[in-house]
Amino acid sequence: DRWLGAITLAVGLYTSSSFGAITMVLAMSAVWFTRTLRSHTAVLAVVLIGILLGTVFLLTRPVQEVPVEESKVEVSSGLSESRFEKSQTGRLRLWTRGLGQWADNPWGIGPSGASDRKFIELHDVREDSSIGQIHSDPLGMLVERGVIGLVGWIGMWVSFWSAAPKRGLARLMILGFLMQTVFRETIHYRHLWIVLALAMVIDHRNEARSRGSIVAAT
C-alpha cells in the first residue's frame, strides 16, 4: 500500500509540474529521512540516491518535436522546464508588486483585496492568466491584512504545531504545508485542513494507545 501510494504521488507530481507541491513533498521527505536515518541508514541512502538521480533524469530529458500538419507541437517526457521558468519569474514579479502594495498600505488592503482591486494585472506576467493571486500565503496575509493578519496567521500554525503530538504525522504534514504556502495560496484549500485534522486524530489515538500499553506493562 505504501509503495502504491508513493507511485501515485510521483505520477501526480510528474504530470502537474507543480512547484509548490514538489516543494512540499521534498520537505516532508527530508523530515521523514531524518527521523528514520538512525535505524535504516543504508536503505535510506540508496533510496535518496535513487530519488536524486531520478529527479536529475526527469529535469534534463530533452524535448521532442512532433510535427502536426504544418505546425510543431513540443512534447516533453519530463517535467515542464518552461512552466518552472514562468513560475519563477511570475512569482518574483508578483511578490515584488505585493511588497510595494504593502509599503503603501501597511495595515493591509483588505481580505480579497488582491483580486477585488485587480491588484495583479498578470497579462504582463503570464499571457494566459487573469487571476489576482499573490501565490504566497504569508505575503498574501501581509498585503491584504497587514502585520496583524500575518502575526495571526503565524500564531495559527504555532497553535497547530503545539496541539500535534511529537514525531507524529500531523507535524510532518504541517512542515510540508508551510513549505507549500510560501509558493502558493493554500489557506482556502479545504482538503488540506481535512487531511490535517485526520492526521491529528490518528496521532492522538496512537499516543493514547502507546500510553495505555506502557501503563499496562507497569
User: What is the pLDDT at residue 43?
Assistant: 54
Cα 190 to the center of its chain, rounded Å: 14
Q: Which three cell numbers stand for residue 32?
A: 521523514
Q: Which three cell numbers stand for residue 54?
A: 531520478
User: What is the pLDDT at residue 212?
Assistant: 74
Question: What pairs with residue 74 in β-bridges?
Answer: 65
User: What is the pLDDT at residue 15?
Assistant: 63
pLDDT tens readout for residues 119-150: 554 444 444 443 456 778 888 888 888 899 99
Would the pLDDT of 10 be above 80? no
Considering 18-27, 57-66, 90-99, 156-165, the range whose residues carry the highest mean pLDDT is 156-165
CA of 12: how far to CAs of 4, 6, 16, in Å?
A: 12, 10, 6
- Using CB atoms within 10 Å of the CB of residue 204, give its burial: 0 to 12 exposed, 13 to 18 middle, 19+ buried: middle
* Average pLDDT rounded to a whole number, residues 80-94: 58
Contact 108, 117 (CB under 8 A): no
Residues 181 and 145: their CA atoms lie apart, in Å, by 16
Q: Of the ranges 58-67, 99-108, 138-147, which one carries the lowest mean pLDDT score?
A: 58-67
Considering 35-39, 97-101, 147-151, the range whose residues carry the highest mean pLDDT is 147-151
Would the pLDDT of 204 be above 80? yes
- Using CB atoms within 10 Å of the CB of residue 39, give its burial: 0 to 12 exposed, 13 to 18 middle, 19+ buried: exposed
**pLDDT band at residue 152 under the 50/70/90 scheme:** very high
Residues 90 and 76: their CA atoms lie apart, in Å, by 21
Would the pLDDT of 53 be above 60? no
User: What is the pLDDT at residue 60?
Assistant: 45
Contact 136, 150 (CB under 8 A): no
Residues 128 and 82: their CA atoms lie apart, in Å, by 14
User: What is the pLDDT at residue 122?
Assistant: 42
User: What is the pLDDT at residue 154?
Assistant: 94
pLDDT tens readout for residues 155-201: 999 999 999 998 888 888 888 888 888 877 778 878 788 888 888 99
Length of the chain: 218
Is the full-model pTM beyond 0.85?
A: no
User: What is the pLDDT at residue 33?
Assistant: 64
DSSP-derived secondary structure for the chain: -HHHHHHHHHHHHHHH--HHHHHHHHHHHHHHHHHHTTTSHHHHHHHHHHHHHHHHHHHHPPEEEEEETTEEEEEESS--HHHHHHHHHHHHHHHHHHHHHHHH-TT-S-TTHHHHTT---GGGT-TT------S-HHHHHHHHHHHHHHHHHHHHHHHHHHHSPTTSHHHHHHHHHHHHHHHS--TT-HHHHHHHHHHHHHHHHHHHHHHHHHHHH-
